[in-house]
Structure 1
Amino acid sequence: MQRDVHSQGDLKDSDVIDVQGMTMRVAQAKELGLLSDAFDEQLSIGAARRAAQEHGKAQEQTPEKTQRSDTGYTEYDTATDALNAALDDGSIEYEEASQYHTALGEVALAGLSVDEVVNTVEGLADGSLVENEVSGETLSMISSVEKSVTEAATQSAIHELGQEGFDQLDQLANAHPGVRQVIRQYAVDRVSGQSDGVTWAALAADLREQLGYQ
């Protein structure tokens, strides 16, 4: 039977202790002059174990904080911090967030904002902007970003809604231009970590309700 001891006075001659890897009774350790060494050794081990246990408890009680982004690109840093927060609260998956991080980095390195990219994409789509008004390098970057963001958002929606639910949402978007715009804005908000915890399922349910669908 083991018990805690705090000084040599707590030991009985018949107690069994470990001394330098050998097991012996306290009386034997006294005769050999090893009792002080044995007690100091066990005290050090016990203190180390207690310190490790206390450290572990402190780690459990204090959640690890994600380091804030500080690249010097204000919009990128803000969006990255927001995405990391969304990751922490589980409202976005790592794979999706990772693709958004990459896209945001490309936009930042091009010296553009997310809004400028969105406006360029929309301008090219509705004809208010022609390709020769945009540099080839910027067009290439925007095409890459749009493709990766669309793929990430699509996979996220399918994962959450299922293929049938996604198809229904896509049908609503094709039938109602306003719905398509809402979905596009929501996707942009997800990229920047600004979706405020709104899920694809909640968005789809809200749109169906507004359109009068059961």
Structure 2
Amino acid sequence: MSLKDFFMKLVNKEISPECNIAVTSSKEIERIELSEALAASATQASLNCNIIELTKGVGIYIHYRLKTDITTATPASQNGFAILMQNARKSKLYLPTFPQSGNRKQTLRNDLVDWIHNNGGGWSTQSYANTQGKEFIVSLTEAIWYIDMRSHKKLEERSFHIPNIFLEFFDRANPESHKHSRKLFDANELNLHCQSLAPCATSSWMLMANFDWLR
């Protein structure tokens, strides 16, 4: 069931009939946010996201922000500073932390963290960032490094094309600079890297609005 479906069941009194929600259409939803607690920072989600996955991975509190909430609010009665602080808490995202190093592979890893930050991505809590986020960054780093040590151009020659969004992270391994020859691709090893990244594509955090640019 999607977040949108759940909302409509509430409106139609199919769930919790005692609730009196005077809304006739899901089009009146301005946005949806989820949080771990009522007063905790919230993360925006898409209407069509699966409600079970998100409540397990992001938080059990679902906040439906309706368009009517915004149009009927009286600006004069609102504290501007409080609104700014509230919005700041809602928009705050966290990134995985790694030790700084001059090692090329570790530099790549930290550059990937910066890349996510610069594109508006991140996780709803530091705990999620250091578990889900760290797992994703490590798997992506290992996959890119494995391909780069063997040259991504060899994959292109075989009609396997790297998405343009990742190309800036290649041509860094440069094994020749250490007087090593480039290794050959091994189908089993390459498949292991794919399997490591595959769960991330359908994870609840990947379905959040702040990762739209990556999907």
TM-score norm. by structure 1 comes to 0.28
Greater Rg, structure 1 or structure 2?
Answer: 1
Structure with greater helix percent: 1
Bigger relative CO (Cα 8 Å, ≥ 6 apart): 2
